[in-house]
């Protein structure tokens, strides 16, 4: 099977920040609402097929997510209208905390709108609903993915499948388990896969266009986002700790 190696995409700021869908397509074998970059179709189908052979009916919990949707999630969490989890995945009670601590707590589990990898159409959250106990509601927590968790068997298989793949395929950008505790960055997300050939293009565009020339800051200032002033004040720290661009830093590739 031949996968596209060099993604020929002219990445615009709107594509980086999740403000457009022009770079996306529906994926024929996924649920109707899943939009992704079309070059993910074949590798994702290969993954689904391999899973099926082992008895896992894989589904995409989240593909492309717009900035508008991310803003909605962010604002609900910021106002305490939607649970914000602590490092042990236990809901916190909100606004007693200083504003910056509240922002840090939200960022552990939710990207700042405009910075989510889900804006690019290169990243998916996957799970296997057929291994869940009857009546169980999916949370997508780290605990669920652990060997003793409800989907442990599936994620163990996924570990093996990923490690047997060619270097230029899917990888997991959020796998630092220390981030759940000591480092306090983005939590460990074994369900989040990124398709390297296209994600690399977006990471570099983000690093070179959005961060370095303050385009992102300009965009953010125009958004109707809760906790805006504390976010803007700490933007460099947010980039350093919560916007993960592992491929952009490998200049030789
Ligand atoms: Zn994700």
The domain limits of the chain are 13-242
Counted residue by residue, the chain has a size of 253
Q: Which one, of 117, 87, 115, 139, lies nearest residue 193 by Cα?
A: 117
Give the pLDDT score at 198.
95
199 Cα to the center of ligand 1, angstroms: 13
Q: Which of these, 191, 185, 160, lies nearest to 246 by C-alpha position? A: 185
Give residue 183's pLDDT: 59
Q: Which residues of the chain are under the pLDDT cut of 70?
A: 1-7, 94-95, 179-183, 250-253
pLDDT tens-digit profile of 104-122? Answer: 989 988 999 999 999 999 9
- The helix/strand count (H/E) of the chain reads as 10, 6
Q: How far apart are CA 149 and CA 157, in angstroms?
A: 14
Instruction: Give the distance (Å) from ligand 1 centre to CA of residue 141.
Output: 11
- Distance (angstroms) between ligand 1 centre and the Cα of 221 equals 25
CA of 124 to the centre of ligand 1 (A): 6
Q: How far is the CA of 209 from the centre of ligand 1 (A)?
A: 23
Model confidence pLDDT, tens digit, residues 31-78: 778 999 999 999 999 999 999 999 999 999 999 999 999 999 999 999
Quote the ligand 1 centre to 62 CA distance (angstroms). Answer: 7
Residue 172 CA, ligand 1 centroid: distance in Å:
10
Span from the CA of 94 to the centroid of ligand 1 (angstroms): 23
- The Cα-based distances of 236 to 53, 153, 196 in angstroms read 45, 39, 25
Contacts of 50 (CB under 8 A, 6+ apart): 161
Distance 134 CA to ligand 1 centre (A): 24
Which residues lie near ion ligand 1 (Cβ < 5 Å)?
A: 125, 192
Cα(1) to centroid of ligand 1, in Å? 26
What architecture does CATH give domain 13-242? 2-Layer Sandwich (3.30)
């Amino acid at each position: 099977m031949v996968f596209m190696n060099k993604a020929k995409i002219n990445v615009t700021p709107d594509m980086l920040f999740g403000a457009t869908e022009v770079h996306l397509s529906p994926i024929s074998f996924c649920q109707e609402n899943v939009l992704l970059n079309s070059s993910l179709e074949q590798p994702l189908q290969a993954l689904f097929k391999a899973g099926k052979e082992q008895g896992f009916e894989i589904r995409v919990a989240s593909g492309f997510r717009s900035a508008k949707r991310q803003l909605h999630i962010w604002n609900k969490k910021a106002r305490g209208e939607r649970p914000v989890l602590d490092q042990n995945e236990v809901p916190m009670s909100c606004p007693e905390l200083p504003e910056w601590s509240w922002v840090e707590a939200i960022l552990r589990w939710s990207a700042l709108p405009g910075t989510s990898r889900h804006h690019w159409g290169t990243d998916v959250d996957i799970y296997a609903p057929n291994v869940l106990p009857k009546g169980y509601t999916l949370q997508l927590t780290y605990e669920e993915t652990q060997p003793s968790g409800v989907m442990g068997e599936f994620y163990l298989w996924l570990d093996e499948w990923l490690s047997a793949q060619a270097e230029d395929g899917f990888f997991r950008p959020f796998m630092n388990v220390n981030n759940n505790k000591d480092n306090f960055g983005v939590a460990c997300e074994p369900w989040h896969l990124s398709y390297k050939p296209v994600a690399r293009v977006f990471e570099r565009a983000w690093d070179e266009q959005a961060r370095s020339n303050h385009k992102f800051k300009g965009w953010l200032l125009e958004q109707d986002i809760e906790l805006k002033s504390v976010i803007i004040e700490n933007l460099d720290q947010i980039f350093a700790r919560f916007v993960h661009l592992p491929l952009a830093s490998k200049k030789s590739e």
